[in-house]
């Protein structure tokens, strides 16, 4: 059976925070109303039922250069790639929760933000030169596309989107639990291996 989703949106700075919440038994309905008693196991169950928490969407543009030499003949291409990056959290893994009932505080530990997707919106070629013995082939277009995705991922990292996404997550969860009378502390654990945003 297909699960339908509610989309809860919060504007945070220049980014959009989106929480995909299953309609039936959702986080929103569960954690509404002051005086609600919240258990750690229930929080984790509901967090893991969420597909992804996307707290930052950023528009990107960068220049991609492609060059290939074969049989002494060189082909070149200069392309401007425009796209968007979605940065957020996989809540199905590594989320932890502790509830301080006496202090009415919830302590959440999440994985660091990751680059969920890079979507290329437009690729515009400004200069292209084919070699005499080295024409362009469809696989060259594929190579340029993958180079563009790598360049946009690098640009997203340079903009500091991880910190922005994590600030957004704190705001999202504070808003989500505010009606329950609980305050929320959100911490981020180091990734098990490698950087949070890929090189």
Give the lowest-confidence range in 1-10, 34-43, 116-125, 150-159: 1-10
Read off the pLDDT of residues 155-180 as tens digits, 9 standing for 90 and up.
Answer: 998 888 888 899 988 988 888 887 77
Q: Which string of DSSP letters, residue by residue, matches the chain? A: -PPPEEEEEEEETTEEEEEEEESTT-HHHHT-STT----HHHHHHHHHHS--EEEEEEEEEEEEEEEEEETTEEEEEEEEEEEEEEEEE-TTSS-EEEEETTTTEEEEEEEPPEEEEEEEEEEEEEEEE-BTTB---HHHHHHHHHHHHHHHHHHHHHTTHHHHHHHHHHHHHHHHHGGGT-EEEEEEEPPSSS-SS--
Of the two residues 8 and 122, the one the predictor is more confident about is: 122
- pLDDT tens, residue by residue, 55-93: 888 999 999 999 999 888 999 999 999 999 999 888 877
pTM recorded for the entire structure: 0.68
């Amino acid at each position: 059976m297909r699960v339908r989703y509610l989309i809860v949106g919060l504007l945070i700075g220049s980014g959009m925070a989106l929480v995909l919440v299953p309609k039936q038994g959702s986080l929103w309905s569960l954690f509404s109303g002051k005086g609600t008693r919240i258990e750690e196991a229930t929080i984790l169950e509901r967090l893991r039922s969420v597909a992804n928490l996307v707290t930052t969407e950023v528009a990107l543009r960068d220049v991609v250069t492609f060059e290939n030499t074969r049989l002494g003949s060189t082909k070149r291409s200069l392309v401007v790639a425009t796209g968007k990056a979605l940065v957020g959290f996989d809540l199905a893994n590594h989320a932890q929760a502790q509830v301080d009932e006496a202090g009415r505080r919830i302590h959440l530990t999440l994985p660091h933000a990751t680059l969920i997707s890079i979507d290329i919106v437009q690729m515009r070629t400004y200069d292209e030169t084919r070699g005499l013995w080295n024409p362009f082939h469809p696989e060259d277009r594929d190579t340029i596309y993958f180079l563009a995705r790598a360049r946009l991922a690098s640009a997203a990292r340079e903009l500091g989107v991880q910190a922005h996404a994590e600030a957004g997550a704190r705001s999202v969860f504070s808003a989500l639990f505010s009606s329950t009378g609980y305050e929320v502390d959100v911490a981020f654990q180091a990734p098990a291996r490698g950087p949070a945003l890929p090189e």
